[in-house]
Chain A
């Protein structure tokens, strides 16, 4: 099956943050990773996050090591993925929200004591 490589760059983590520190990879070079599976742990000045894989594919190269500061937009990982038939849509790097029930609100009234 034909393969192509795609490099995933550090996405915008919001709140005007321009960089994050790599805590740990959840994959090694050569591993196959499913789309949405945990890919890498990153730490910003405010929190620690797990970034899920945007692709289903094989990990070809990791572009940063633990404790390294990575700028938003810098290469993070390169995947080999099955080549798509025909022209690709131009959207990469976004992962849809998993299915979840909408958040609900509950009004809690304590028992009268």
Chain B
């Protein structure tokens, strides 16, 4: 295969508490579409919550997002490209295994990483995510112009400072090119699905957990945006990661 030069990109990441106890498994936080590590995780209280447990936190800005490079070709955003970034980051940091906590698109990518490199993932949290097609009914060549839930997401994130709408549109198309499939399940990787009870983008999460042997948490009264900061969510994830 020809090497694809778009993969030679710069990814910005945060590494907090790198001196955490030997044997402790770091947590890799994968943010959602159109946000970044700071907005999705740090501002929503996650760095502090995990830091209180003494956990090392690795927080990349995904390609196309935040301080990382933002290619504009659709193929640069196929899930396998992201997985390669994450494995590259773990290799760079000499980290064997991580617990992966994703939100929305970050959950989809965490699942992909666990499928491709199950030996690098101890367990997996999929926040704000369900098996339904997130792009259902959306015109991928006119993103943000329609009325689907994803059009609304696209409109909101397109206006955030630092975001490049062309890169985000390419990212959406790259993701849509690989629809999520509930089979196979990442081998030997326990997973937790957590979503707000009002989160339309996470429809079917409970059934996915039930049918594929995962755990499930419903966050009462929260939607796709407001579930992110939920104390119930944060504490359930700490319980899942630290106390099994």
Contact with A along B213-229 (1 / 0, CB 8 A): 00000000010011111
Interfacial chain A residues near B7, Cβ < 8 Å: 108-110
Q: Which of the residues B12, B15, B45, B51 comes within 8 Å of A101, measured between beta carbons?
A: B15
Q: Please, which residues of chain A bring their CB within 8 A of the CB of B95?
A: none
A48–B51 CA distance with the chains assembled, in angstroms: 19
B88 and A108 contacting across the interface, CB-CB below 8 Å: yes
Bound: A45/B85 CA distance, A: 31
Sorting the interface of chain B by its residue count into under 10, 10 to 19, 20 to 34 or 35 or more gives 35 or more
Is B225's CB under 8 angstroms from A106's CB?
Answer: no
A103 CA / B11 CA spacing, docked (Å): 10
Check if A52 sits within 8 Å of B14, measured CB to CB: no
Residue pair A113, B10 in contact (C-beta under 8 Å): no
Interface size, chain A (Cβ < 8 Å): 28
**Which residues of chain B are near A3, meaning CB under 8 Å?**
none
Decide: B225 and A107 in contact? CB cutoff 8 A: no
CA distance A46 to B67 in the complex (A): 19
Whether B8 sits at the interface, judged by CB under 8 Å, is yes
Cβ-based interface call for A98 (8 A): yes
- Between A and B, 28 residue pairs with Cβ closer than 8 Å are A15-B161, A24-B230, A38-B45, A38-B48, A38-B49, A38-B231, A41-B229, A41-B231, A43-B229, A46-B160, A47-B35, A47-B44, A49-B43, A49-B229, A50-B45, A52-B48, A98-B48, A103-B13, A106-B13, A106-B92, A107-B8, A107-B9, A108-B84, A108-B85, A109-B7, A110-B4, A110-B88, A113-B1
Task: Give 16 new A-B contacts, CB below 8 A, not counting A48-B230, A49-B44, A109-B88.
Answer: A23-B229, A38-B45, A46-B156, A47-B39, A47-B44, A48-B44, A50-B48, A98-B47, A100-B14, A100-B16, A103-B12, A106-B88, A106-B92, A108-B9, A110-B7, A113-B1
